[in-house]
Amino acid sequence: MEKPVLNELRKDPLVGRWIAVLSESLPPSAYIRKDSREIPEEDSCMLCAGRESETPHEIARMSVASPADPVKKWSTRVIASFDPVFKVEGDLGRRGEGMYDKMNSIGASEIIIESPHHHLQPEDMGLDQMIRVVQTYRDRMTDLEKDFRLRYTLIYKNHGRPAGALFGHPLSQLTSTPVIPKRVKEELDNAKQYFSYKERCIFCDIMREEMRTGNRIVIESRHFLAFCPYASKFPFEAWILPKRHSCSFPDIRPDEIEDFALMLSSFLKKLRALFPDLSYNYFIHSAPNRVTRKDHWHTLGEDYHWHIEIMPRFLRTTGFEWGSGLYILPTSPENAAKFLREV
């Protein structure tokens, strides 16, 4: 039996960034069609309740109490991605190619369906539904941490075409990789250096400063703080951090789940009230799988702090941002927070 052809990861030796290269290269015509591809409407959406047999295999679901009603058989479902970049089958196959390093793209690519209803976002279905979504996030990350081939799991949401959404149905995505992505590693390294110098968590210090000044805070609850970062990259960007120091999202407590679900729902509703057709991304940054690796991550429990970042998509990134890494912010974080608080 022939082995399946796997996508591969290639490492950029200059900046240390890993890139996933697909085994089947797309021709130029595929990129032209991509721009005109329509997002499926409800009558052709296979993610809606009642069409479960049309999706890739189901990984997990959260059920609710009325099995007689098709739309109430489940509240959230997790399925394999339709065309996964990372697959759990196979081995890493680390190898060199001249001066370059590469490996197979072993991992997980999953779709988290957040609602059985095509046009109903979880934040509009009541707090219980958003709690179930957060619990699903936690459960999938916890499960994938058991696979020691995998180093990092990212849960993220693409809402709206400009944010990369391919479906009109409410969903998030999960990707688990055998490497720690460069963006995350920079965060981990900087947090580690800050702790080595000051013996304090940089995220806890950021929260203390935001609570001291108060002018960038959008919402504060018992367990969480939502604010527009001092040096935001995008207008109306926000972070939500737990007040309790914790490096790992799967360690979230039951009382924190409810509070976090309420906080995330409230913030998304505020954004939508200001900008009804807004596209956005959000993603959860959590500690990597804490495999012992030359003692590099043994201080994670002290120096890192999980959080969610919410990025509204108003602006297109230009050559200046791509070339310099320096972002231009048309609305200050202080004014953005003020507008959001007043909603």
* Rounded Cα distance, 160 and 173, in Å: 14
Distance from the Cα of residue 121 to its chain's centroid: 17
User: How far is Cα 169 from Cα 166, in angstroms, rounded to an integer?
Assistant: 9
Return the higher-pLDDT residue of 315 and 176: 176
Rounded to whole angstroms, how far apart are CA atoms 177 and 186? Answer: 16
Rounded to 5 degrees, what are φ and ψ at 111? -115, 125
Residues 163 and 187 in one domain: no
Q: Are residues 219 and 264 in the same domain?
A: yes
Indicate if 78 and 202 belong to the same structural domain. no
Region of 96 on the Ramachandran plot (φ > 0 left; ψ -120 to 50 alpha; else beta): beta
Per-residue pLDDT reduced to its tens digit, 195-204: 999 999 999 9
- The domain boundary residue, chosen from 129, 145, 177: 177
Mean pLDDT of the region 85-99: 93
Round to whole Å and give the CA distance between 332 and 115: 34
Domain boundary among 177, 195, 213: 177
- Beta bridge partners of residue 8, listed in sequence order: 21, 104
Q: 276-324, pLDDT tens digit by residue?
A: 999 999 999 999 986 555 455 678 899 999 999 999 999 888 898 889 9
Last residue of a domain, one of 177, 195, 218: 177
**Same domain as 188, residue 173:** no
What pLDDT is recorded for position 43?
Answer: 77
DSSP 250: G
pLDDT at 254 over 70: yes
Radius of gyration of the chain (CA): 21
């399925």: which residue's tokens? 79
| 242 and 212 in a common domain | yes
In a domain, 3, yes or no: no
The pTM of the full predicted model, rounded to 2 decimals, is 0.92
Give the confidence band of 92 by pLDDT, cuts at 50, 70, 90: very high
173 & 186 share domain: no
User: SS3 of 279, please?
Assistant: coil
Region 207-214: mean pLDDT is 98
Read off the tokens for 43: 């009558």
Q: Among 127-136, 156-165, 285-294, which is the least confidently predicted range?
A: 285-294
Domain presence at residue 1: no
Q: What is the rounded average pLDDT of the residues 264-270?
A: 97
Beta-carbon contacts of 147 under 8 Å, excluding residues fewer than 6 positions away, are: 88, 176
Question: Do residues 191 and 307 share a domain?
Answer: yes
DSSP secondary structure string for all residues of 109-138 = EEEEE--SSTT--GGGS-HHHHHHHHHHHH
CATH number of the domain enclosing 64: 3.30.428.10
Reported as half-sphere exposure (CB side, CA atoms, 13 A), residue 84 has a value of 23
Q: Dihedral (C-alpha) 76, 82, 83, 87: value to the nearest 10 degrees?
A: 50
Q: Are residues 62 and 112 in the same domain?
A: yes
CB 299 within 8 A of CB 290: no
**Domain-embedded: residue 288:** yes
For the chain, what is the domain count?
Answer: 2
Start-to-end C-alpha separation, the chain: 60
User: Rounded to whole angstroms, what are the CA distances from 58 to 74, 78, 214, 281, 311?
Assistant: 12, 6, 44, 25, 29
Three-state SS at 175: strand
pLDDT of residue 86: 95
66 and 148, same domain (yes or no): yes
The overall average pLDDT reported for the chain is 91
Average pLDDT over residues 233-243: 97
Does residue 144 sit in the same domain as residue 208? no
Find out whether 141 and 153 touch, Cβ atoms under 8 Å.
Answer: yes
Confidence band for 26, pLDDT divided at 50, 70 and 90: confident
The separation between CA 312 and the C-alpha centre of its own chain, rounded to angstroms, equals 14
For residue 2, is it within any domain? no
Residue 163 sits in the same domain as residue 306: no
| Containing structural domain, residue 335 | 182-341
Sheet of 152-159: strands edge to edge?
A: 58-62, 76-80, 108-113, 171-177, 152-159, 280-285, 307-312, 238-242, 224-227, 217-220
The residue type of 133 is V
238 and 137, same structural domain? Answer: no
pLDDT at 29: 84
Q: Give the integer Cα–Cα distance in Å for 236 and 301.
A: 30
Residue 43 is given by DSSP the state: G
Sign of the alpha-carbon torsion through 228, 232, 238, 240: negative
| 84, part of any domain | yes
In a domain, 89, yes or no: yes
CA distance 26 to 37: 15
